[in-house]
């Protein structure tokens, strides 16, 4: 699809969309939203980019390979934080009980492992959205060639 209006508008709003998504992910332990909602916004911004420019341009920014690697990484961060709690001598996924610094409630740097887990979830959801999009598109392309 070649449409100059769509391209210009999306080029203009994309940074704001991504920044907003990042904001929601990073404030997951403080405000409504969190890893899933923020990750979905970031993932949607990547889909918007690939739709308004084209698939080749989108793949240059975030290829299918990279997005599926990020997908695994996000999930591994989550599970890894749980295992770190066990290594610290508490139960799986323990937070304060395992000795993660909890900080002052309400500050950006607080909440111990929750912030890191939310970040992992954000990566996972954003890259899953992109991966699903690529999988659907590539399926469509491979059918056209048949």
Q: Is 126 in the site for another protein (CB under 8 A)?
A: no
**Residue choice 59, 95, 110, 116 for contact with another protein (CB under 8 A):** 95
Stretch that binds another protein, among 1-9, 27-35, 54-62, 87-95 (CB under 8 A): 87-95
Q: Is 136 in the site for another protein (CB under 8 A)?
A: no
Cβ partners under 8 Å of residue 11, min gap 6: 52
Gap between the Cα atoms of 41 and 46, Å rounded: 9
Contact 60, 9 (CB under 8 A): no
Distances (CA, A) of 32 to 28, 36, 106: 7, 11, 13
Q: What tokens appear for 137 in the block?
A: 């598109």
Gap between the Cα atoms of 39 and 101, Å rounded: 25
Residues in contact with another protein, shown as a per-residue x/- string from 45 to 84 under the rule CB under 8 A: --------------------x--xx-xx--xx--x--xx-
Q: Is 101 in the site for another protein (CB under 8 A)?
A: no
Residues at the interface with another protein (CB under 8 A): 65, 68-69, 71-72, 75-76, 79, 82-83, 85-87, 89-95, 97-98
């Amino acid at each position: 699809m070649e449409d100059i209006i769509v391209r210009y508008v999306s080029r203009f709003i994309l940074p704001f969309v991504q920044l907003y998504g990042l904001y929601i992910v990073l404030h997951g332990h403080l405000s409504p939203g969190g890893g899933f909602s923020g990750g979905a916004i970031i993932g949607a911004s990547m889909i918007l980019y690939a739709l308004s420019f084209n698939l080749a341009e989108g793949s240059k920014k975030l290829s299918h390979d990279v997005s599926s690697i990020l997908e695994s990484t996000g999930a591994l961060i989550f599970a890894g934080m749980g295992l770190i709690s066990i290594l610290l001598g508490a139960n799986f996924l323990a937070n304060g009980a395992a000795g993660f610094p909890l900080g002052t409630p309400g500050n950006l740097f607080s909440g111990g492992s929750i912030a890191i887990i939310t970040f992992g979830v954000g990566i996972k959801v954003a890259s899953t959205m992109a991966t699903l999009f690529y999988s659907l598109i590539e399926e469509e392309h491979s059918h056209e060639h048949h």
